[in-house]
Amino acid sequence: MFAPSLSRANFLRGSAGLLVAQAMGGAARAQAVSAAAVLYAPTDYRAREPGKSGGTLRVSVATDTGILDPHALAATNVQWIGRILFDNLVYLDESGNITPWLAKDWTISPDGKTYTFALRDDVTFSDGSKFNAEAVLLNLQHMRDPKTKSPLAGTYIQPYASGRIVDEYIFEATLHQAYSPFLNVLAQSWLAMESPKVIREHPASLLYHPVGSGPFVLENYAPQQGMSFVRRPDYNWSPSLIGHQGPAYLDRLEFEFVPDASVRYFSLASGEYHFTTDVPPQAAAAIDAQPDLVMTDRIRMGAPFRPIAFNVTKPPFDDIRVRRAVARALNRDGMTQIAGFGLFRPVSNFLSETTQYFDDKSSAQLSYDTNAAAALLDEAGWTGRDADGYRTKNGTRLGARIAMTTAAASVPVLVQVQADLRTAGFELTLDAVPIGTAQLMRNNGDYQAMSGGVWHTNTPDALYINYHGSQIPNATHAGQNVSQLNDPQLNALLDQARLSHDPEVLKPLYAAAQARLIELVPAVPIYENQTVVAYHKTLQGVIYDTSHETPHFETIWFGERTA
């Protein structure tokens, strides 16, 4: 019996530095050793014992992605779809190193621009077509094809220039410039390998009938209702790291979309579903109280949740002191409680704690301190007070408008941001705008602040995506730098980091970039981006994806009391 090793209780009790990871159900205690970062135990990522075949797993999911072609997807939190249907060239290990999957081996040229992959020769897609160098070439082209409208995969391999079929199982990729996160992103679920036959013959069908080489095959997809998958009996090429080879244990997977948070909880507790990929945090206490349910919450790599992103080019946030004051006026623990009900973990950095090269030496500069906030606003000249208690300068009230999309799930957090800022004498007005309007505002840079979100990716290059000057959104480039930050020093650090594969070089570069961002405060990080899943204790072999911290379904099996 093995379950996720870092139980929630321990997770919360863990003192600032050292977290004790406890293997639930066993006496073994592993220590997640790191002065700062949260690390999960290796057993969370590797199946430890062989399981029993058979059974149909019923799973509830919060949202429907609408389409199933991973190259056309950007949806967060559902990367498990990719692992069910597809395989990738490489897979990460638990410390972020690259390990083989469909690519057995690879070499990188000294200038960092040429990658040569040696591919497995025993892999087939479920439509019978072979996995080979041509398949890789077609897949990379498909990600880049404007017709795919790839929101993520295409952007992540932007430096990819061309590919060459050296021989049937040797593929060579050439990049425009060195790009060290290349292998990391190739390990991500949304950059999986699809059938070359379908890509060549009718690529549009991939949206609803994706064909991959993964452990399951899509049986049915009913938008807004659910989807089902059946096991592929001849599957035998899992990444060796997950500790399981051969076909998946479960015969069938049945997923149903259950958008209502309360219903997701009740239907799990009642046994209608064995598993839910989206536990509403507010149900944490109720699930904890049930002895036959297991719940795990895991921090995802990338950028944590930032409820407010400042436009650093527009007043009042063009003044760095005002940005710092806002950051220090926010009660991070309070907001984390409001959103996470004890499940979420506060963070004061622009990278999540589990991301490689996370460095929180300067995090204290963003800590909650109302006196520091007041001093900064005084220094910035906002010393007057009006009848409503807001600060003023030359008769103008200190305030700003924040655009939030109408469907913002984080409204209670934004309400708390507003309440904390009101205490600091800052009037924040929440503007609910339709998503189309928000897009236009982003492209035109026409806003004082935007409600931010999370940015999950399996590399510290998340900083480049979110804050490099080249990533400012405009009409032709859907960049993520909504803070409109263009700092030469930060740009240089992030550019250099893309050139090197050497940990000794990368560590100080990313540390400096994090320190610089904390100094510039383009947004306020509040809590970690976490996935919370829960399932019935009869389920065994639940392990997690090293890139996404989402569950792997191929290793799950039913223990004694098969429901």
Partner 1 sequence: MSATDHSISAGGLPPARLLPGHAALRRVIAADIRPGLAISAIFLAVLVFAGIFPNILAPTDPLATDPSHIFAAPSLDHILGTDENGRDVFSRLVHATRSSLLLGLGAALLTTSVGSLLGLLAGLGPRWIDNIVMRISDILQSVPEILLILVIIAFWGASMSTLLFGLGFAGLSNCVRQVRAQSLVLRRAPFVEAALTLGLRRWHVVLRHVLPNAIKPVLVLLPLQIGIKISAVATLSFLGLGAPPPAPNWGGMLAIDRDYVLNAWWVAAAAAGVITLTVLSIATLGRDLIRRSEGRR
Residues at the site binding partner 1, with contacts judged by CB under 8 A? 260-262, 265-266, 280, 282-283, 285-286, 331, 333-335, 337-338, 341, 406-407, 411-412, 414-416, 418-419, 422, 430-432, 434
Say what the alpha-carbon torsion angle 470, 471, 476, 478 is, to the nearest 10 degrees: 170
Report in angstroms how near the CB of residue 317 gets to partner 1 at its nearest: 21
Q: What are phi and psi of 138, to 5 degrees?
A: -65, -35
Closest CA to 348 of 362, 329, 334, 335: 362
Q: Are 41 and 2 in contact (CB under 8 A)?
A: no
Report in angstroms how near the CB of residue 423 gets to partner 1 at its nearest: 10
> HEC states along 175-196?
ECCCCCCHHHHHCCHHHCEECH
Instruction: State which residue, 279 or 506, has the beta carbon closest to partner 1.
Output: 279
Report in angstroms how near the CB of residue 270 gets to partner 1 at its nearest: 13
Q: How many beta carbons lie within 10 A of that of residue 88, not counting itself?
A: 26
Report in angstroms how near the CB of residue 272 gets to partner 1 at its nearest: 16
Closest CA to 272 of 56, 58, 62: 58
End-to-end Cα spacing for the chain: 17
Residue 430: is it exposed, middle or buried by C-beta count within 10 angstroms (0-12/13-18/19+)? middle
Report in angstroms how near the CB of residue 177 gets to partner 1 at its nearest: 44
Q: Are 62 and 255 in contact (CB under 8 A)?
A: no
Instruction: State which residue, 286 or 478, has the beta carbon closest to partner 1.
Output: 286
Instruction: State which residue, 48 or 422, has the beta carbon closest to partner 1.
Output: 422
- Output the DSSP codes for 198-243: HHHH-GGGGGTS--BSSSEEEEEEETTTEEEEEE-TT-----GGGS
Instruction: State which residue, 166 or 409, has the beta carbon closest to partner 1.
Output: 409
Report in angstroms how near the CB of residue 6 gets to partner 1 at its nearest: 25
| Integer Cα distance of 530 and 538 in angstroms | 24
Per-residue tokens: 323? 């940005």
Sheet architecture: strand order including 56-61: 216-222, 226-231, 252-257, 56-61, 275-276, 530-536, 293-299
| Integer Cα distance of 555 and 563 in angstroms | 17
Report in angstroms how near the CB of residue 39 gets to partner 1 at its nearest: 29
Instruction: State which residue, 205 or 406, has the beta carbon closest to partner 1.
Output: 406
Report in angstroms how near the CB of residue 312 gets to partner 1 at its nearest: 25
Closest CA to 549 of 45, 7, 2: 45
Q: Are 480 and 309 in contact (CB under 8 A)?
A: no
Go through the chain and tell me how many residues it has: 563
Instruction: State which residue, 144 or 266, has the beta carbon closest to partner 1.
Output: 266
Instruction: State which residue, 109 or 423, has the beta carbon closest to partner 1.
Output: 423
Residue 291: is it exposed, middle or buried by C-beta count within 10 angstroms (0-12/13-18/19+)? exposed
Instruction: State which residue, 415 or 492, has the beta carbon closest to partner 1.
Output: 415
Report in angstroms how near the CB of residue 409 gets to partner 1 at its nearest: 9
β-bridge pairing 449-450 and 399-405: parallel
What is the maximum span of the chain, computed from C-alpha positions, in angstroms? 77
Token look-up 């030496």 returns: 361
Per-residue tokens: 521? 């405060």
Q: Are 408 and 451 in contact (CB under 8 A)?
A: yes
Report in angstroms how near the CB of residue 194 gets to partner 1 at its nearest: 36
Instruction: State which residue, 416 or 529, has the beta carbon closest to partner 1.
Output: 416
Report in angstroms how near the CB of residue 558 gets to partner 1 at its nearest: 27
Instruction: State which residue, 303 or 404, has the beta carbon closest to partner 1.
Output: 404
State how far Cα 108 lies from the chain centre. Answer: 27
Instruction: State which residue, 261 or 563, has the beta carbon closest to partner 1.
Output: 261
Report in angstroms how near the CB of residue 478 gets to partner 1 at its nearest: 24
Instruction: State which residue, 264 or 498, has the beta carbon closest to partner 1.
Output: 264
Instruction: State which residue, 2 or 368, has the beta carbon closest to partner 1.
Output: 368
Q: Are 411 and 404 in contact (CB under 8 A)?
A: yes
Report in angstroms how near the CB of residue 404 gets to partner 1 at its nearest: 9
